[in-house]
Amino acid sequence: MSSPAHRRLAVARIIRGRPVSTQEELLAALRRAGFRATQATLSRDLARLGARRVSRPGGGTFYELGDDVAGDGAPSLASIATSVTANGSLVVVRTSPGSAPAVARAIDLLRLPQVLGTIAGDDTIFVAPAREGRARALAAELAGLLGAGGAGPARPHRTGGADQAAATRSHSALERATQSSMARPAK
C-alpha cells in the first residue's frame, strides 16, 4: 500500500506534469499511477500541498503548485541532488554548486544505520557505507531519498511496503534537515 506522503508526491508530479482541471481528473490519474484515494482525501492532499486553482488564458481553471513546493513546503531535493552513483565501496552524490555541505549534513542528521559517514566538497559528497559491499544498495536508497537517479538527471525511486514507509519518513526528514542546514550561515 502507498503512504500518504507518497500519494501527495504523486499528486504533485501529476499536477506539475500536465494541466489538471478537476479532482475527478486527478483521481483518475492517481489510479493510473497505482494510488487509491477518495475525493475527501484528495482535497486534504491538495490543501496540504498548497495547491491552488488558477485561470487559463482561454477560459477554465487548472491546479497549480508553487515552484518551491516538495510536498511539505521545502525546496525539492531533486533540484539540489543531481545524481547518486556507486562503485564497490563508495557512494558519490553530486549536487548543485555549493549545496553538498547542506545535503551531507542532512544525511548525517538522519543517522541511517547503513551510513558510516560523509565527506562533502562544494558539489560532491562521498558517502561511506557502514558495511563492506553495500555501496550499491546504499546508493539506491539515497537516490530514492534525494529524488536523484544514476548518472543522469534526477528522477524518483520507488519502493514498496514497509520499505516505502521508512523511505517516506527518511525523505521528509532529509528535506527538513537540508532546508535547515541551508538556512544556517557558514562558519
As annotated, the residues of the chain forming the CATH 1.10.10.10 domain(s) are: 4-64
**How would you write 19-79 as a 3-class SS string?**
CCCCHHHHHHHHHHCCCCCCHHHHHHHHHHHCCEEEECCCCCEEEECCCCCCCCCCCCHHH
pLDDT in tens, 84-140: 999 989 999 998 887 888 888 888 888 889 999 999 998 999 999 999 999 999 999
pLDDT in tens, 5-64: 778 888 888 998 888 999 999 999 999 989 989 999 998 888 878 788 888 888 889 998
pTM, 2 dp? 0.47
Nearest in space to 84 (alpha carbons), one of 72, 94, 76, 75: 94
Q: In 10 A of CB 163, how many CB atoms? A: 12
Residue 115's pLDDT is what?
94
CATH class belonging to 77-183? alpha beta
pLDDT in tens, 49-60: 878 888 888 888
As annotated, the residues of the chain forming the CATH 3.30.1360.40 domain(s) are: 77-183
How is domain 4-64 classified at the CATH fold level? Arc Repressor Mutant, subunit A (1.10.10)
